[in-house]
């Protein structure tokens, strides 16, 4: 294959992965709506959990929400490196975004993002006890007033995206890095 065809294929893959990621914002049941976020704690142990992608910019920056007392906040305070893993089972497509997780501290931005939280989900940020606290019974969770919430948004800023597509006769795998203006490089699957 010619270099032009190979480069065109890489550009098409990058366009496809951006389209799929951003589709999660508009399609409620899109598989990329819920992704795995991994952080590293103070003991250099990786910690993974499922989060909801709330916003995805054209530059692939992602917004997630959490409780300000959650473990991921202390993880980010000691090590801002993070990874998002997404999998599309019908397309057999996996995306891994490597980057940093940054707390959003601007009061206007926090207010704008908090307004996006549904009434049903408000309770996720208004528990009296911190997430992970021991309780005797699932009904033992107490809540504070909405205005006393523990809502904390984060911005995930990627510096690399790895694309893997399982297909026959050959799987496709490529890496795209911001330092190369998101130009791709094929890698062995």
| Stated pTM of the model | 0.91
What confidence tens digit (pLDDT) does each residue in 116-143 have? 898 888 888 999 998 989 999 998 898 8
In a domain, 139, yes or no: no
In the chain, the percentage of residues whose pLDDT exceeds 90 is 76
What confidence tens digit (pLDDT) does each residue in 12-32 have? 999 999 999 999 998 989 999
- The parent domain of residue 40 ranges over 3-113+151-186
In a domain, 50, yes or no: yes
Q: What number of H helices and E strands is found in the chain?
A: 3, 9
For the chain, the straight-line distance linking the first and the last C-alpha, in angstroms and rounded, comes to: 18
Determine the Cα–Cα distance for residues 27 and 42; give it in Å rounded to an integer.
Answer: 36
16 and 8 in contact (C-beta within 8 Å)? no
In a domain, 122, yes or no: no
In a domain, 167, yes or no: yes
Q: Comparing C-alpha atoms, which of 32, 69, 66 is closest to residue 154?
A: 66
- Decide: helix, strand or coil at residue 174: strand
- What CATH code is carried by the domain that includes residue 31? 2.30.110.10
Confidence of residue 47 (pLDDT cuts 50, 70, 90): very high
In a domain, 173, yes or no: yes
Write the CA distances from 138 to 78, 125, 133, 144, integer angstroms: 31, 17, 11, 17
In a domain, 99, yes or no: yes
In a domain, 145, yes or no: no
In a domain, 107, yes or no: yes
Confidence of residue 70 (pLDDT cuts 50, 70, 90): very high
Confidence of residue 98 (pLDDT cuts 50, 70, 90): very high
Q: Number of folded domains in the chain?
A: 1
Determine the Cα–Cα distance for residues 72 and 75; give it in Å rounded to an integer.
Answer: 5
């Amino acid at each position: 294959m010619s270099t032009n065809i190979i480069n065109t294929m890489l550009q098409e893959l990058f366009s496809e992965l951006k389209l799929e990621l951003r589709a999660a914002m508009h399609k409620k049941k899109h598989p990329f709506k819920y992704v795995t976020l991994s952080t590293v704690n103070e003991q250099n142990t990786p910690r993974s959990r499922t989060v909801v992608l709330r916003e995805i910019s054209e530059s692939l920056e992602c917004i997630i929400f959490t409780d300000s007392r959650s473990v991921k906040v202390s993880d980010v305070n000691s090590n801002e490196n993070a990874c998002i893993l997404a999998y599309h089972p019908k397309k057999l497509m996996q995306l891994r975004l490597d980057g940093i997780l940054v707390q959003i501290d601007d009061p206007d931005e926090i207010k704008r993002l908090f307004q996006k939280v549904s009434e049903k989900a408000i309770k996720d940020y208004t528990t009296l006890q911190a997430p992970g606290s021991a309780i005797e019974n699932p009904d033992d969770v107490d809540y504070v007033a909405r205005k006393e919430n523990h809502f904390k948004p984060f911005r995930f800023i990627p510096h690399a995206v790895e694309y893997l597509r399982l297909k026959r006769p050959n799987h496709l795998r490529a890496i795209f890095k911001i330092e190369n203006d998101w130009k791709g490089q094929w890698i062995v699957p």
